[in-house]
Structure 1
């Protein structure tokens, strides 16, 4: 077992971002050391040293608590190896299994349990009707280090059998310790702040002080500020979901009216009855625990309802009374049928025009995700994207669009009539994938539109964040620099894979809503106007495009119309059923487009939405608000563990590797010089700095596993793992597969993956040994074909002139909608076989080949042809080298579907 993390090693990224798991490891290590001591008679010093390491951070957790730790310390110092081993084992197992949340005996030593009434000093978690959810409350108070047990006992005495939840106190005595606790302890759901605490901790916390300094939360940065309100602000920045309570013996009325107190749930007079605080804490957690639609649906399912509407499956009678489909009912259970209805009355609500519990659930989701409005969508994020396009884009509007984004964006523009101005992402040719779109490309497109006098036509910037392969934009910088050029641009960020990031303080600033919140706060700061005016003076009245390109532009906060939309595939990263999606809105002008937005909902949303999907979105929000922080931390821990185990394994690493940030992101976009999470010498400060400053970062939970070096193409390896080993992946490229850790994964999953990769690696070695020189040569040739002989990735070429009837001279936008519908007329289309000489002839001497539809190979999964696009040699070469079976929009027997050139000319005349 690895030695547990200590202060000197916690600076490593994999330790800092994975503290909960590391804590479990430290306790297991102490348990093993004490057990060895009890068996051999040697090891007292090691056990004491390991307990020292543990005690440095255990004060930030309610369990095992000061009393049990003191008992364990006494046993070790007294040389009671057997008793120490027994207690260490019980604590370790309780932390690992989390049994302390439901078993009062876990909180006491045997001696204490015999002397103390259990209903007074131990948590009573069971109640009539079921189990009470458990959470922890951070109490920041002066002298908490010495008064900790007294504070804990006071809060325990407030418990009542009527309480819906049960909690334990975590007392700390300083600003630094409070920040450390909310970072390290995911079980904390509320914070109670008393006045009079210190800023610095009495304990040595060098790593935390580095963090506080980098976040401008150190003593020097907040000198003279109101410390309790500064702490509340800092906690809200780290974990905005937490309920904060300030207890003061000053003029609480004035504090409550202070603008800086806006993040507090309540301000209480500290000398008053603590029961009020207790009830506030429970009410705050209950406010997040409530799921208005799901709660109502459960009540609906219990009612004796007779249905005379068009949904025979409702109530389940047609299923359970059938001799032929009863197994369906047995498989799914009765409740799923009792909770179905096609009615939107009788206590239910309408997803199309919600006014009741669905509306309330959506409002709660808006609060949780930092949005002004949230819409639940049951047709997946493909539909969410189309809704945004239809609501906000009118025919002829120009949309700056990543050519490699999800097909729903392209189809959305076809339906809306918007003209895509495609901007290309940086290529990763070696792995047959694209990254993300450089900011320079976006700025150039906007400045070219300005030079053409067409900037007013630019309506939206539409980008994917994070990309399928994990590239995360510097969303704030992108929006700020674009708004400096056109202050009323709308931004659509497709965060289908990134919804979970809201619950990580390190990833949240790079989400659309996180960046929008930061920009909004910056706009309110008078310094923002000063910064803009200083730059405007430096640039002069008419700065050249070249000068603007090389400048990090600062927008005019007085001119900005902050309009940000974010779509989340909730089912992709949270506990929602498949096709569950959320559409998040933070738009100062939403009132002016709300009517057309609802029209878009009516157009695309089903009039018969699945009730279970809606309920699962409600539940996913509840879970993330109450435990999302810890779940996301675990997902990051899992991912870092996989990266480390694969790349460091002496056998596996010969044939497989997970690409680091330096291999996924070119150096020019990593301005801080950050290389990878696990590069020797890299610590968490490097990662945090990269997240703040670099143009692109890599989502640690998305891992590109190269399998071409093992002789497998991506599709082949994905099938092997699914068919033979029951391990499922999602996306593939020519020579890689994408692994994604999420809130569902466990360390057992990691162990299984490593076992299987080792088995495959050993099989490769055995086959090479049996095959001799010829076998090794064949293997090397296979690897070369997958890793070296890769086709160049084709960029977007251009729209044919027939579909650029009102386009500018400098920009490549086109009327894709007209091209798309031109292909509906058979007489205007032709087919040319991909491998025919006709293709090469027309590439060389014309006439141009014009794509009639979208052509999307899987992998890589982006459209290499769109309607109206002129097909080039690069695209044909790429298609001919593809060895994938699934190509949407292409029938190999017929060939390329093209718009006839003469038909296109007719379009020009029309």
Structure 2
């Protein structure tokens, strides 16, 4: 249990490969700071020129993929080093390093000058970064893939600069590469790339070391031997679009442009242009493409609305802010929030605004743009949080009596959604992580067994939906494609609800996207369209033979019949949990071939649960969150991953912190049987990017790198205690806790300063523990060891779902445990049919041994661990009572300590319908 994982302090042998992609955002800035430091030492006479040359060489191929500082400035730096100009090299290295670290080159024209002091920036550069009004414009970069990239790239860059105008809403620079592989590396390494232009005639292979990239490309069918001419051109366009679907791709050709444009494979290309005559058209097209993503229909209209002199005669006194700013008593609220939040408030759905319940204008358009961005057919904005999103989906798709297979440990909104809809839950247990008082995810074999049991009893037609949480609170990610394919092989019309409340950001990472609901649905649809899919299904059917046993089906990775299955996938997304949306901002993503048949009832569910007075600022923040992720989401998510890996490395390798704290690795969070690739952990010596990619592609479960389980029980703290200590005394906030751990989550908001503060505080706490142990002597050390043992070893067993009482089983079969939770829930509304039993009483022990059975009247949810250990109609067992007796948490929803468990009297269980 106390495994120590020490990251290698020496530099990994493959660090210089251009396909080492999990450490890009900060590593580049670190390299430039190291170069600057070496140059300063040289200038001061503390070291020679060799460390500077080595530091510059250390950049290797990386700098080829960034527009700044570019070949011109790097050449100037090399010349100063070569000629022995130590002072000049140090000054330029400092300027370049600071510009990269602060990103000032995106708006500071002086950063692009070769001279150290620029008194008069050129008109060309000056006009590049500001509008006619003098405001700075958003900056991005365009990748150009062409033969003779160095020469042609310089010409293209110069030509594009000549075409700039002050009226242009954005400014960009170009990056040129000569090969297919370099293009892939460029868009993975450089998050600023927002557009790609492809010229015919480029090479396939990079001249740099990229073995992992080559193996990945080969596995995806991008093999140089099979790609020639237009095939390679369109294959690269398709490949880049798959990796970063938000990027616009353009093709410039000096021949056969009509044929390329008419090719069915060119659907990923925004425009095909005749290269001899269309440079201005390319420039305008690039600006238009970025502008399409930048536009936020609702937010743009809301800003316009806020500038208009409107008199309000509706029931929203706070609109326009007069009641606030004219008040002697609440004016401070207005000063705190500012005027715009009140000017942008209205209960009207006309005059430039729109209705969230039945959008026909800018909200409708904003939702359509979100659908495009997230790879869905439809998106619905929700301002009541994902708890409401989940209930909407359940009400829209589930009728009374329908069976829903779901994780017992999912968010309570799914359980309450089934109560409201009347669906019968068939609970399936996740694998337990008893020593940390948490559950993992639901193994696919258990889901398949439940479906096969229903089939054996002739009740498979009642199974309507599979409902799972991806990723779980603690970071377990499903192989969504495999789950859906194998379930559809058993029942071709199953609906899937994936609660991705914490995982919405994953769409913007090419490594995580295939593990999302929408990413997997897209992959399956493409597979269905491939004739090879039918061949694969027929081959497996021949191997399985007629009437294969359940055991054989459970042991086989099932292939569905692509001609029969339906893709019916719903994803709920807490946009506010992982993107820049205000609290309670959520989305429902739909990819359902039968949506037209349920669209009316889906809208009824929206009418039922959505507020008729939705907050305008919430809607606007959803619109803006989509814009941000389309334009910079890739880089933000890459940074969040790097921050998380940095935390893992620094905690587990620190000589003092690692004595008392540690971060659990993938091997401790995911049992080996679900890690078929053999992947151990992100920070384990010997593991590299190839292992991580293979785990993402192959394993039944893998770990979200941004979710970090920090064990604090080994420092003598339970999770709740440690969370409170960090918040109250150190201003560091966590979210979820367990008996002996806390969950840290890096997100697009975090910086390396946050990591530094965390490490500093952890070291301070460890110093205090060391001092206390030294002062306490042998007795103090014994007490500390006993405390650690109670937290880390004397942990309660986690209770699985027992069963529903027979009174709530209805027509359920013998093999499956579903029940009518709705009847039990509402049956508990009648006081005469209920009773209370304290869990520590003799009556409780007697009832457990001799009966009558105790039937839970409501949900009982302790925090932590945060999942329902009892649901309405469930029979209370010894395991549940033992767990509750060992719990030392104060917050248990649905349990009254003074009265005990609320139970349904067995003699009344069947009386109420």
Q: Is the 8 A contact 2:132 2:167 kept in 1?
A: no
Say whether 1:676 aligns with 2:678: no
Q: Is the 8 A contact 1:232 1:264 kept in 2?
A: yes
1:757 equivalent in structure 2: 762
Cα distance change of structure 1 residues 773 and 111 upon mapping to structure 2, 3 Å threshold: closer
Cα distance change of structure 1 residues 884 and 6 upon mapping to structure 2, 3 Å threshold: closer
Residue 593 (structure 1) shift: 0.2
Q: Is the 8 A contact 1:488 1:561 kept in 2?
A: yes
Residue 564 (structure 1) shift: 0.1
Whole-Å separation in 1 of the counterparts to 2:382 and 2:17:
41
Cα distance change of structure 1 residues 123 and 201 upon mapping to structure 2, 3 Å threshold: farther
1:255 equivalent in structure 2: 260
Residue 11 (structure 1) shift: 6.4
2:799 equivalent in structure 1: 794
Say whether 1:292 aligns with 2:292: no
Q: Is the 8 A contact 2:200 2:230 kept in 1?
A: no
1:9 to 15, 21, 31: 15
Matches for 1:440-589 after TM superposition, within 5 Å: 440-589=445-594
Structure 1: stretches of 5+ with no match in the other structure: none
1:241 equivalent in structure 2: 246
| Alpha-carbon displacement from aligned partner over 1:797-817 (angstroms, at most 9, x marks no partner) | 000000001111110000000
Residue 743 (structure 1) shift: 0.2
Secondary structure of residue in 2 paired with 1:131 = coil
1:119 equivalent in structure 2: 123
Cα distance change of structure 1 residues 209 and 905 upon mapping to structure 2, 3 Å threshold: closer
Secondary structure of residue in 1 paired with 2:65 = coil
Whole-Å separation in 1 of the counterparts to 2:12 and 2:218:
21
1:712 equivalent in structure 2: 717
Whole-Å separation in 2 of the counterparts to 1:546 and 1:813:
22
Residue 112 (structure 1) shift: 10
Whole-Å separation in 2 of the counterparts to 1:465 and 1:10:
34
Residue 897 (structure 1) shift: 0.2
Q: Is the 8 A contact 1:4 1:29 kept in 2?
A: no
1:303 equivalent in structure 2: 308
Say whether 1:690 aligns with 2:703: no
TM-score (norm: length of structure 2):
0.97
2:827 equivalent in structure 1: 822
Whole-Å separation in 1 of the counterparts to 2:99 and 2:440:
44
Cα distance change of structure 1 residues 639 and 540 upon mapping to structure 2, 3 Å threshold: same
Whole-Å separation in 1 of the counterparts to 2:216 and 2:593:
34
1:134 equivalent in structure 2: 139
1:861 equivalent in structure 2: 866
Whole-Å separation in 1 of the counterparts to 2:249 and 2:860:
52
Secondary structure of residue in 2 paired with 1:890 = coil
Residue 221 (structure 1) shift: 5.1
Residue 145 (structure 1) shift: 2.1
1:724 equivalent in structure 2: 729
Residue 214 (structure 1) shift: 4.3
Whole-Å separation in 2 of the counterparts to 1:597 and 1:7:
54
Secondary structure of residue in 1 paired with 2:804 = coil
Residue 147 (structure 1) shift: 2.9
Secondary structure of residue in 2 paired with 1:779 = helix
Whole-Å separation in 2 of the counterparts to 1:16 and 1:525:
31
Root-mean-square deviation (Å): 1.6
Residue 222 (structure 1) shift: 3.5
Whole-Å separation in 2 of the counterparts to 1:52 and 1:761:
40
Q: Is the 8 A contact 1:484 1:553 kept in 2?
A: yes
Structure 2: stretches of 5+ with no match in the other structure: 1-7
| Alpha-carbon displacement from aligned partner over 1:445-498 (angstroms, at most 9, x marks no partner) | 000000010000000000000000000000000000000000000000000000
Residue 218 (structure 1) shift: 3.7
Secondary structure of residue in 2 paired with 1:139 = strand
2:745 equivalent in structure 1: 740
Say whether 1:805 aligns with 2:810: yes
Whole-Å separation in 1 of the counterparts to 2:18 and 2:715:
30
Residue 205 (structure 1) shift: 3.9
Whole-Å separation in 1 of the counterparts to 2:443 and 2:17:
31
| Alpha-carbon displacement from aligned partner over 1:313-347 (angstroms, at most 9, x marks no partner) | 00000000000000010000000000000111111
Whole-Å separation in 1 of the counterparts to 2:836 and 2:9:
66
Whole-Å separation in 2 of the counterparts to 1:623 and 1:7:
36
How many residues align structurally? 905
| Alpha-carbon displacement from aligned partner over 1:683-725 (angstroms, at most 9, x marks no partner) | 0000000000000000000000000000000000000000000
Cα distance change of structure 1 residues 770 and 299 upon mapping to structure 2, 3 Å threshold: same
Q: Is the 8 A contact 2:667 2:680 kept in 1?
A: yes
1:326 equivalent in structure 2: 331
Q: Is the 8 A contact 1:123 1:156 kept in 2?
A: no
Say whether 1:217 aligns with 2:217: no
Say whether 1:232 aligns with 2:237: yes
Q: Is the 8 A contact 2:18 2:209 kept in 1?
A: no
Residue 206 (structure 1) shift: 4.1
Whole-Å separation in 1 of the counterparts to 2:366 and 2:667:
42
Whole-Å separation in 2 of the counterparts to 1:558 and 1:607:
42
Cα distance change of structure 1 residues 432 and 11 upon mapping to structure 2, 3 Å threshold: farther
1:173 to 172, 178, 187: 178
Secondary structure of residue in 2 paired with 1:617 = helix
Cα distance change of structure 1 residues 388 and 217 upon mapping to structure 2, 3 Å threshold: same
Residue 579 (structure 1) shift: 0.2
Matches for 1:569-648 after TM superposition, within 5 Å: 569-648=574-653
1:276 equivalent in structure 2: 281
1:159 to 146, 161, 164: 164
